[in-house]
Structure 1
Amino acid sequence: MRPSRSGFGTASLVQKCLYSSVADSDEVRIPRMRNIGISAHIDSGKTTTSERILFYSGRIKAIHDVRGKDGVGAKMDSMDLEREKGITIQSAATYCSWGDYNINLIDTPGHVDFTVEVERSLRVLDGAVLLVCAASGVQSQTTTVDRQMKRYGVPRVTFINKLDRLGADPFGAITQVREKLHVNAAAIQMPIGLEGNLQGVVDLINMRALYFEGESGEMVKVKEIPADLQEEAETRRQALIEALADVDDELGEKVIMEEEITVENINDAIRRATIANKFSPVLMGSAFKNKGVQALLDAICRFLPNPKEVQNFAVDSKKDNQQVELHSDSSKPLVALAFKLEEGRFGQLTYVRVYQGTLRRGDFVTNVRSGKRVKVPRLVRMHSDEMEDVEEIGAGEICALFGVECSSGDTFVANGDSSVESISLESMFVPEPVISLSLAPKDKGNNANFMKALQRFQREDPTFRMHNDPDSNEIIISGMGELHLEIYVERMKREYNCECITGRPRVAYRETISKRVPFNYTHKKQSGGSGQFGRVIGYMEPIGSTPEDMAAAPQFFNDVVAGSIPPQFIPACERGFKESVDKGPLSFNPVSGVRMVLEDGLHHAVDSNELSFRLATKTAFRQTFLEAGPIIMEPIMRVDITVPQEFQGSAMGELNRRRGIILGTEINMYQQCIITAEVPLNVMFGFSTDLRSMSEGKGEFTMEYTRHAPVLPNEQEALVADFNKRRAAGEIKMTE
């Protein structure tokens, strides 16, 4: 039985997946296509919900547990580490059919250390499902996911999950969505019972009750609304209409004119307002208890946009990066974005979103970044870790390529077509790493596997960085948190049989300045014959005083006039500046938030050369920086701690001891205290062990980077003293 197109949840039987091909015309195929992702705070039920979606749509034959206790594990958690830890580490893609609709689905991680997986998924999706726990409400990572959805303008439906949990309060969760996320959300369902008494939901649009029966909730029964809920349902339906009238002019006019509001009027208004990002319809249920997921699937198909209803833009490098609108039209020249890389069994697997045109197996395409012409040897649709070969993919689709060397964020266009050869899609936002540690293979003979693993992880994950420290001759890896790096170290052991020795984690300090200072420096060196001569004059200043300004990339400006420095030497000055900001003169950490302006100078007809001006700029930078009120900055983390109420004092005392600033506390329905604080990352190492110890193993926390801020004066002195000590001992060499 197919789901009724007139309402929610009337599909009750597992369906056969019938995925349309590009052979269907765009007019038929694209309107019934949905590209969606499921995003939420960790442990809100994303993978459990994905598992039910796949089961009810007929993509899998049985439902399996997320942690893999049954020896199989959830379909979308294909990695052993994911099943062991019960968390999603890598986003996984699949597709399914629901009635007449085809859905490309991406399940994303909830842990903040893997937030780039959410970032790159939302970059290519047309819509999303925001999951919120009915008991815990809006949590720290919910806020992060909401910010990411808003960054890319992704419309969402909201699903209040876990109505079966003790203390579930779905309407309290909706209030938090409105107040904390500033999203105009309203319920289109209400629960029939809560916690252990959860029976189903009331559909407020069609005013009927939906019950999910059968061993796996596969049979959806439509019944009359229970008499004791009828009055509340009518009140909440009226609240839904009023919320919609505030954001949809068409429905608002009908309300003002006191015209009859039909089911079709409400559905159309929800769709218009959702696609315009003015509204989010809220559904309810419990994925784990197999209740409400079919209605969620209907809402995805009814309210979220198809690829033609979303505006997508590229930039044209030949026209001063002017924006060019792309059209979901399979007959136009190909434009596609590689948004995720993964090492597959048969080589590099490249996930691609086709924005325009058609991608065919055997076609030649051009990588805009490299200019290389590459052949598409194999084209597949992904089903988690499984794949199905296809001959061609049309506009709006998500697929994967095998055997194509590229980087994450590369744009592929039709080979030899001048109308798109200079067009590129903007890549996703990639946060900077905040933590580093040294890494070396335990067995020196395993160095080949060690380097192979690091290079692979670096290609796959833009937030994972690796470099060789020339001073200590150590390999340094950097990432978003302790868990992030810990997972990669464990994967090296499992996937490459390469056990590693790790050093103490290092914090990503930065250096900046606090005041404007002029410079006038002459570099002069004479040793017989042609010498070196270059004078640079200008000033150095902070970009601004806000945290964003202080963390901004360093800037170099050339304001030289009248040729006092010949134009051919200006690039050497800029190169000297860029080399200087890599390792600051105060503590040998990267420099940010600094602007250097070159205004004047002097050159010699014989002795001036590029080296002279590069060295002059480097020395001028070093001297001026130390005179300009230099500051060392440290990463500040937002920490959300949940502990039983009796341990609130201990947890707050521990935060105070670690120089934390308490931003707020609240008590949830489980009599647990939720503490929100900002704490320097440098003092958070070992906090997990201390929290478990003080709370009898009942405390948990999440941590997310917020900004860099100046360290305390005594800490700055200690960091500078340590740097000077290491330099005096020859561990650090200030190279020219």
Structure 2
Amino acid sequence: NKMDRTGANFANVVKDVRQKLGAPAFPILIPIGAEENLIGQIDVVNQKAIIYSDDEKFGSKYNVRDLQGDEIATAKAAYDELLDAACSADDELGMIFLEERPITPVELKAGLRRAVIANKIIPIAGGSAFKNKGVQYLIDAVIDYLPGPLDIAPQKGHVIDEPENEVIAVPDDNGKFIALGFKLWSDKFGRLVFFRVYSGCVRKGDTIYNPRTRKSERVGRLIQIQASVHKDIDCCYSGDIAALVGVKDVRTGDTFCDESLDVLLEPPTFPEPVISMAVEPKTKGDQEKMGNALQRLSEEDPTFFVKTDEETGQVIIAGMGELHLEILCDRLKREHKVETNTGKPQIAYRETLTIPADGEGKLVKQSGGRGQYGHVVIKVRPGEKGSGVVVENKVVGGTIPKEFINPAKNGCIEAALNGIIAGYPVIDLHIELVDGSSHEVDSNENAFKMAGIFAVKDALKKAKCILLEPIMSVEASTPEDYQGDILGDLNRRRGKIQGMDSRGTTAILRAEVPLAEMFGYSTAIRTLSSGRASYSMQPSHFEQVPSQIVEQIVEQRGGSK
């Protein structure tokens, strides 16, 4: 896309996809021209040129002509490369090639489709969505090469509360209805829930069931959306995507199914937020309005979180980066008419332990009448990276009664939300409940929950905990004249340089930099390069915070290490 933009270079993109992503990428639609001279595409399979008109509707009209001049050599080289890759990836095409029979465009397309579905070839098309040049042939390529619902393995789910009881959603219009809500969106029609049907079909007037909420709702209106066009439909079949209007209490990743089923499909996974900031309305009268708007935005965007800080009472919003939160604050203003003030963003630090340890928690209260008694003994150890907090029951002999195991587990999980260094959540923590004791009269769920909290706090004090900070993978593109200044600036920001490449007169710098050091970087890089450099960043991993910085963080949080 964006072949009409200044500096667009299709060959460089193909090269980068192959080198950086290691993908077997091959052009099927090569742009003719670039930037303001973009006029069409070369159809590699059919060896034709598609030329788009430059009328007021941009490229809505086009005509197909024979190749001319340099286009002939470009198309021939791309065709030979594509044919060679397709014959190597697909047995049927390979046999035709070995038998020295001519391969027709229809046979090549069929072979390419099989190779693409097997993930052996990645087709690439170049064009401009803004100028509408290449869109029609791109849609054709989606039909020709990408898999339909019957070409891939069926979606799997499980019966709710029974993860081992697997359910397969076979793409069959006559099967029982199973669908997944993958996006929420608010517009002039109200709240739309985009969903994909994996099995069966759903019609207007049907009743669908949400296993998460255990509630059923009637389908009042079904909409098929194509860009800005909303088309009412009566039925949505297996493999189709549509939108529901007016469904209440829905989250991204919810399953919808037939009332006779109680199945959960695997929801999409989303990364944890890496940055947070305080937000408040400019006028007190907008407090409730802002709360409703933030709730709606968090429902639409699963990577956006809203919470209230219990200590300060501030509303904290968290997301994937500085730009992400800036855009959401702008949406508050534009879409919901709420003016806000924002505080300095806070980093989503984490804590973890480095050695195994034992912990014991006991709650004993006796103040007249029925008392409180809970006693839990645990072992903690570092868990696998990305495992979060895992609590395992290893109690034998009934020293903790069965009805108090879950409250003790819940207490352990709650305790891990606030670490002992600076009160940040503890990650990659494996907890084993190993022993405890109970009282026939005074023991209750709350007592064992509190005992679980005390036990985890006790264990963490002995487990040599460390503070972790989010590290961002940063790629900066700059003219070579400014390479040294930007390199020096990244080093000052505690960055670790991972590599440097040259692309013509442009230097590409790749580094890993702590998120805490990246605030205001967009302004800094523009200043250093006279506005000619740009950068992108994405969350990479967590790393231990240097000890001198830990002290500053603890001081800011009002704690003591």
**TM-score in same-fold range (> 0.5):** yes
> Which residue of the partner structure matches residue 304 of structure 2?
464
CA separation in 2, counterparts of 1:508 and 1:286? 38
- Counterpart of 1:261, as a letter, is I
Residues 3-42 of structure 1: pairs in structure 2 closer than 5 A:
none
Q: TM-score, normalised by structure 2?
A: 0.91
- On the 8 A contact 1:315/1:324 being kept in 2, the answer is yes
Whether 1:260 and 2:102 are equivalent positions in the alignment is: yes
> Which residue of the partner structure matches residue 283 of structure 2?
443
- Counterpart of 1:356, as a letter, is S
CA separation in 1, counterparts of 2:101 and 2:325? 60
Whether 1:702 and 2:544 are equivalent positions in the alignment is: no
- Counterpart of 2:469, as a letter, is E
SS in 2 for 1:582: coil
- On the 8 A contact 1:314/1:423 being kept in 2, the answer is no
Distance change (3 Å), C-alpha of 1:243 and 1:490:
same
CA separation in 2, counterparts of 1:429 and 1:313? 15
Task: Mark the runs of 5 or more structure 1 residues left unpaired by the alignment.
Answer: 1-43, 46-160, 729-736
> Which residue of the partner structure matches residue 562 of structure 1?
397
**What is the aligned counterpart of 1:618 among 438, 449, 453?**
453
**What is the aligned counterpart of 1:180 among 8, 17, 20?**
20
Whether 1:517 and 2:360 are equivalent positions in the alignment is: no
Distance change (3 Å), C-alpha of 1:273 and 1:517:
same
- Counterpart of 1:348, as a letter, is R
Residue 493 of structure 1: how far off its partner (Å) = 2.3
> Which residue of the partner structure matches residue 320 of structure 2?
480
**What is the aligned counterpart of 1:398 among 219, 241, 256?**
241
CA separation in 1, counterparts of 2:388 and 2:461? 19
> Which residue of the partner structure matches residue 307 of structure 1?
149
CA separation in 2, counterparts of 1:234 and 1:383? 36
Whether 1:349 and 2:192 are equivalent positions in the alignment is: yes
CA separation in 2, counterparts of 1:626 and 1:395? 54
Whether 1:455 and 2:295 are equivalent positions in the alignment is: yes
CA separation in 2, counterparts of 1:229 and 1:241? 18
> Which residue of the partner structure matches residue 130 of structure 1?
none
**What is the aligned counterpart of 2:158 among 293, 297, 316?**
316
Whether 1:280 and 2:122 are equivalent positions in the alignment is: yes
- On the 8 A contact 2:155/2:198 being kept in 1, the answer is no
- On the 8 A contact 1:311/1:325 being kept in 2, the answer is no
1:308-360 Cα shifts (integer Å, max 9, x gaps): 32333132316644443323333332222221112233432211222222222
Residue 531 of structure 1: how far off its partner (Å) = 4.5
Residue 523 of structure 1: how far off its partner (Å) = 4.3
- On the 8 A contact 1:640/1:676 being kept in 2, the answer is yes
Whether 1:389 and 2:232 are equivalent positions in the alignment is: yes
Distance change (3 Å), C-alpha of 1:653 and 1:188:
same
CA separation in 2, counterparts of 1:570 and 1:377? 44
Distance change (3 Å), C-alpha of 1:605 and 1:384:
same
Distance change (3 Å), C-alpha of 1:602 and 1:258:
same
Residue 542 of structure 1: how far off its partner (Å) = 0.4
- On the 8 A contact 1:314/1:323 being kept in 2, the answer is yes
Residue 558 of structure 1: how far off its partner (Å) = 1.1
> Which residue of the partner structure matches residue 464 of structure 2?
629
- On the 8 A contact 2:472/2:515 being kept in 1, the answer is yes
Residue 213 of structure 1: how far off its partner (Å) = 4.6
Whether 1:408 and 2:252 are equivalent positions in the alignment is: yes
Residue 626 of structure 1: how far off its partner (Å) = 1.8
SS in 2 for 1:587: coil
CA separation in 1, counterparts of 2:19 and 2:244? 42
Distance change (3 Å), C-alpha of 1:208 and 1:691:
closer
Residue 219 of structure 1: how far off its partner (Å) = 5.0
Larger deviation, residues 369-378 vs 502-511: 369-378
Residues 199-348 of structure 1: pairs in structure 2 closer than 5 A:
200-213=40-53, 215=55, 216-218=58-60, 220-226=62-68, 230=72, 233-286=75-128, 291-317=133-159, 320-348=163-191
**What is the aligned counterpart of 2:498 among 663, 677, 696?**
663
Residues 670-689 of structure 1: pairs in structure 2 closer than 5 A:
671-689=505-523
- Counterpart of 2:330, as a letter, is E
1:111-145 Cα shifts (integer Å, max 9, x gaps): xxxxxxxxxxxxxxxxxxxxxxxxxxxxxxxxxxx
CA separation in 2, counterparts of 1:510 and 1:201? 50
CA separation in 2, counterparts of 1:165 and 1:477? 36
Distance change (3 Å), C-alpha of 1:666 and 1:472:
same
- Counterpart of 2:548, as a letter, is N
SS in 1 for 2:539: strand
CA separation in 2, counterparts of 1:507 and 1:675? 24
**What is the aligned counterpart of 1:539 among 360, 363, 379?**
379
CA separation in 1, counterparts of 2:187 and 2:7? 42
1:403-454 Cα shifts (integer Å, max 9, x gaps): 1112222222234xx3xx1122221111111111111111112222111111
Q: TM-score, normalised by structure 1?
A: 0.71
Residue 515 of structure 1: how far off its partner (Å) = 0.5
Larger deviation, residues 196-205 vs 249-258: 196-205
Residue 230 of structure 1: how far off its partner (Å) = 4.4
Task: Mark the runs of 5 or more structure 2 residues left unpaired by the alignment.
Answer: none
CA separation in 2, counterparts of 1:569 and 1:219? 70
SS in 1 for 2:416: helix
**What is the aligned counterpart of 1:367 among 210, 216, 237?**
210
- Counterpart of 2:188, as a letter, is R
Identity within the alignment, %: 37
> Which residue of the partner structure matches residue 589 of structure 1?
424
Residue 661 of structure 1: how far off its partner (Å) = 0.8
1:264-297 Cα shifts (integer Å, max 9, x gaps): 2211101111122221223344556665443323
**What is the aligned counterpart of 1:433 among 273, 280, 289?**
273
Distance change (3 Å), C-alpha of 1:576 and 1:202:
closer
**What is the aligned counterpart of 2:436 among 594, 601, 609?**
601
- On the 8 A contact 1:368/1:412 being kept in 2, the answer is yes
CA separation in 2, counterparts of 1:645 and 1:447? 49
> What is the RMSD computed on CA atoms of the aligned residues?
2.6
CA separation in 1, counterparts of 2:53 and 2:335? 42
SS in 2 for 1:246: helix
> Which residue of the partner structure matches residue 553 of structure 1?
388
**What is the aligned counterpart of 1:645 among 473, 477, 480?**
480
Distance change (3 Å), C-alpha of 1:500 and 1:226:
closer
Larger deviation, residues 608-617 vs 369-378: 608-617
SS in 1 for 2:89: coil
- Counterpart of 1:310, as a letter, is I
- On the 8 A contact 2:225/2:242 being kept in 1, the answer is yes
Distance change (3 Å), C-alpha of 1:608 and 1:229:
closer
CA separation in 2, counterparts of 1:366 and 1:497? 35
- Counterpart of 1:440, as a letter, is E
RCO greater where, 1 or 2, for CA within 8 Å and sep 6 or more? 1
- On the 8 A contact 2:412/2:455 being kept in 1, the answer is no
CA separation in 1, counterparts of 2:85 and 2:420? 57
**What is the aligned counterpart of 1:690 among 493, 510, 524?**
524
1:488-537 Cα shifts (integer Å, max 9, x gaps): 22222233332112111100011110001123454444556655444433
- Counterpart of 2:257, as a letter, is V
